[in-house]
Amino acid sequence: MSDTHAQTVAYVRETMLPELEPPATERGVIKWMRENLFAGWFNSILTIFAAYVIYKIVVGALPWFANGIWTTDSLAECREILQGATGGCFSVLTERWNQLLFGFKYPDDQYWRPTLAFVVMLVSIAPVLFSHLPRKMLILTGLFPFVAFWLIWGGTILAPLVALLGFVAAYIAFKKVEHQSFAMGLLAGLITAIVVWFVGGFVSGAASNVLALEPVASRDMGGFMLNMILGTVCVSLSLPIGICLALGRQSDMPIIKWICVVFIEFIRGVPLITLLFVANVVLAYFLPPGTNFDLIVRVIIMITAFSSAYIAEVIRGGLAALPRGQYEAADSLGLDYAQATRLIIMPQALKISIPGIVNVAVGLFKDTTLVSVISMFDLVGMIRGPILASTEWNGVYWELWGFAVFVFFIVCYGISQYSQWLERQLQTDHR
Amino acid sequence: MAEAAQNLHISDEVAIQIDNMNKWYGTFHVLRDINLTVHRGERIVIAGPSGSGKSTLIRCINALEEHQKGSITVDGTLLSSDLKNIDKIRSEVGMVFQHFNLFPHLTILENCTLAPIWVRKTPKKEAEEIAMHFLEKVKIPEQADKYPGQLSGGQQQRVAIARSLCMRPRIMLFDEPTSALDPEMIKEVLDTMVSLAEEGMTMLCVTHEMGFARQVANRVIFMDAGQIVEQNEPEEFFNNPQNERTKLFLSQILGH
Ligand SMILES: Nc1ncnc2c1ncn2[C@@H]1O[C@H](COP(=O)(O)OP(=O)(O)OP(=O)(O)O)[C@@H](O)[C@H]1O
Ligand SMILES: [Mg+2]
């Protein structure tokens, strides 16, 4: 009786009793289930029905995965092993793995190049996505396009080096002349870049063996690599172009304004697939005869034009959502148009536009599969064409399309998760 | 209190000269024949009924609005459509808005250093020191790393004042700086403005805080229907208004 004063008072508790657990029906799993799954008869019926559907799917799909065959060389062989039992012939994925990833014409012994480019991409995109990484890493991001071009297309390193040099020289020239006027700076930059590229073109043409990788032609690109190339290039081009279009549409200068409006409205009124056909066939007519304008470049131009028009509209929505006071405050502090746009208006407008931009980006990435209709062999094109048409794998639909679905889902879900994370990061108005 | 204000030094130097200024919104004549001379060190309160053009007038002074006729000279620089002139004047004239207009994506400190760094090309470190100095002056240095959304209205408005002061303006414009605030926050903002006035800042202030006008202003301007109807020293203005419209306005705003 050490915790009571039994001598003086009949019963006084000195120590608190531990809290009792709530009854089982008010606790943990059971409580959660009662509130979320079985609240009311309608809810309960839905739950039971959904559980039944899930059960059916799992029971149907599980053996298909569990009995999957991963190591045969053809569908016939696979069927033989299965002997009529349920089971997926996933061996098509392992056997055609490289074709699915790189297309069927990329030289076998060079697969390491796009793979390396992919790894470098992951590293150089990181500082753009995560602002707490060291800012120095952005240098890597700037170099990436040139490195990637060299790795994937091959040829001498001088070609992308000259391109890079042109940009650097243009930037330096711009900085030197900028204080006179912005337009003069742009002009100086442009002229410098053209001179450097022109001169550099001769040099790299003459010395085409310097650090040369085996060249691979654009028409030999294929598989998921092609989707990734189109996706990354087009997204990273269409964002800045979209910003310019959105600003142009708000411009006070009528010519710029109308160019932007006509471009945006025209592109939005046309299906992407027709633009791709235009890129494939018609664009060639407009070019001077003899020029061999790369098909990938034409496709990139069309997809970029398409998505930048959509991004421009998304950003215009973001701009419209900004209160006028933000512009006025920036003006009243003496910031000029470029500064106000870059420091005050765009960061906020882009933040508002993130969900819309991500929507367009995800859509764009999925739309890269449309190039399969103009006989480019991206992942979908590979499956539809060379793989399903081959004698070995004719008839393996579920496994192949399931794989395509899986790969695209992973990438797009990743993008969408990132954007939600970014939105939370940028949340500054929590009180 | 009025004497204290009167003792403040007003120089002969002209800070703002407005001659025969007219402004239209489309066909609507907002400002009619405005003539106004503001000397350096003057503290002017602009009052008048809603829609009389008070905001428009002070927004014309830093060219947030364009005027169509007449001339405005600020600090010896004529306001024209030349962008260089406008940017120069704007960097010399601070403005505080009714709804604060802080930049919500930047911290308080960044709000204050942005313009000095980009417009005045002040080195970042120095800009931050200046910003902290003024944040201390408006008594919220401890909020420097927060975002505007995390501050109360009164605190936000004091940050907005500090943000303007960081540009070392020679003239400050206030457009109803307290009318979006709860009563208990009005005082903290007015106190800040009073101390600013005591340091000799040239101020034009649109406000309905008549106590502030009595305490700080050396001139009260009454506007109605786009015109300056009457202007006078605060004592005279409140005790002995000349114009009928002024009398009506004062009876409405003081008479409850
Ligand atoms: N952008 C605009 N376009 C057309 N009319 C306008 C515009 N801004 C203001 N006005 C009109 O000009 C007149 C003067 O407006 P202003 O905002 O200067 O009044 P105010 O005296 O500041 O009023 P308040 O005390 O309500 O702020 C009002 O009648 C208003 O409706
Ligand atoms: Mg107003």
pLDDT over 70 at B7, yes or no: no
Q: CB–CB of B119 and A326 under 8 A?
A: no
Q: CB–CB of B105 and A339 under 8 A?
A: no
Q: CB–CB of B87 and A326 under 8 A?
A: no
Residue nearest to ligand 1 atom 1, measured at CA: B25
A243-260 burial, b if ≥16 CB within 10 A, otherwise e? bebbbbbbeeeeeeeeeb
pLDDT tens per residue across span B133-164: 999 988 889 999 999 999 988 899 999 999 99
Decide: helix, strand or coil at residue B113. helix
Instruction: Name the nearest CA neighbour of B48 among B203, B255, B256, B248.
Output: B248
Which residues, 6+ apart, have CB-to-CB distance to B121 below 8 Å?
none
Cα distances (angstroms) measured from residue A125 to each of A364, A423, B224 = 18, 18, 59
pLDDT over 50 at B2, yes or no: no
Q: Is residue B25 within 6 Å of ligand 1 at its C-beta?
A: yes
HSE (CB half, 13 Å, CA atoms) of B104? 19
Report the pLDDT value the prediction gives residue A428, as an integer from 0 to 100: 72
Residue of B87, B156, B170, B171 best to disrupt the A interface, most CBs of A under 10 A: B87
Instruction: Name the nearest CA neighbour of A312 among A244, A236, A262.
Output: A244
DSSP assignment of A225-277, as one string?
Answer: HHHHHHHHHHHHHHHHHHHHHHHHHT-S-HHHHHHHHHHHHHHHTS-HHHHHH
Interatomic CA distance for residues A133 and A234, integer angstroms: 25
Instruction: Name the nearest CA neighbour of B208 among B178, B235, B229.
Output: B178
Instruction: List the helix and strand counts (H, then E) for chain B.
Output: 10, 10
- A289, A277 contact by CB (below 8 A): no
What ipTM was reported for this prediction?
A: 0.90
Report the pLDDT value the prediction gives residue B3, as an integer from 0 to 100: 46
Span B1-10, average pLDDT: 55
Q: Which residue has the tokens 């604060």?
A: B100
- State how far residue A252 is from chain B, nearest Cα, in angstroms: 14
* Lookup: tokens for B120: 């005045």
pLDDT tens per residue across span A204-259: 777 777 787 888 888 888 899 999 999 999 999 999 999 999 999 998 899 999 99
Q: Is residue B30 within 6 Å of ligand 1 at its C-beta?
A: yes
Decide: helix, strand or coil at residue B30. strand
Q: Which of A326, A332, A339 is closest, CB to CB, to B62?
A: A332
Q: CB–CB of A430 and B149 under 8 A?
A: yes
Instruction: Write out chain B residues lying below 8 Å of A331, CB-based.
Output: 62, 64, 90
Interatomic CA distance for residues B16 and B23, integer angstroms: 17
Q: Which of B83, B90, B147 is closest, CB to CB, to A333?
A: B90
Ligand closest to the CA atom of residue B54: 1
Q: Is residue B215 within 6 Å of ligand 1 at its C-beta?
A: no
- A92, A400 contact by CB (below 8 A): yes
Q: CB–CB of B115 and A335 under 8 A?
A: yes
Q: CB–CB of B97 and A351 under 8 A?
A: no
Report the pLDDT value the prediction gives residue A26, as an integer from 0 to 100: 67
pLDDT tens per residue across span B94-148: 999 999 999 999 999 999 999 999 998 999 999 999 999 999 988 889 999 999 9
* H/E element, A202: helix A182-206
| Nearest atom of ligand 1 to the alpha carbon of B54 | 21
Helical H segments across B8-46, by residue range: none
Q: How far apart are the first and last CA of chain B?
A: 23
Instruction: Write out chain B residues lying below 8 Å of A351, CB-based.
Output: 105
Instruction: Name the nearest CA neighbour of B130 among B152, B115, B147.
Output: B115
pLDDT over 90 at B185, yes or no: no
**How many CB atoms are closer than 10 A to CB B91?**
20
Interatomic CA distance for residues A65 and A88, integer angstroms: 6
Residue nearest to ligand 1 atom 22, measured at CA: B55
pLDDT tens per residue across span A317-352: 999 999 999 999 999 999 988 889 999 999 999 999
Domain boundaries defined on chain A:
24-63
- A371, A225 contact by CB (below 8 A): no
Low-confidence residues in chain A, pLDDT < 70: 1-11, 23-26, 283-284, 287-292, 429-431
Given pLDDT bands bounded at 50, 70 and 90, which one contains residue B252? confident
Q: What is the mean pLDDT of chain B?
A: 88
Residues in chain A whose Cβ is within 8 Å of chain B: 323, 325-326, 328-336, 339, 343-344, 347-348, 351, 426, 428-431
Name the residue of chain A whose CA is nearest to B172's CA: A332
pTM of the model: 0.84
Report the pLDDT value the prediction gives residue A158, as an integer from 0 to 100: 85
Q: CB–CB of B97 and A329 under 8 A?
A: yes
Cα distances (angstroms) measured from residue A343 to each of A118, A425, B26 = 32, 18, 32
Residue nearest to ligand 1 atom 5, measured at CA: B25
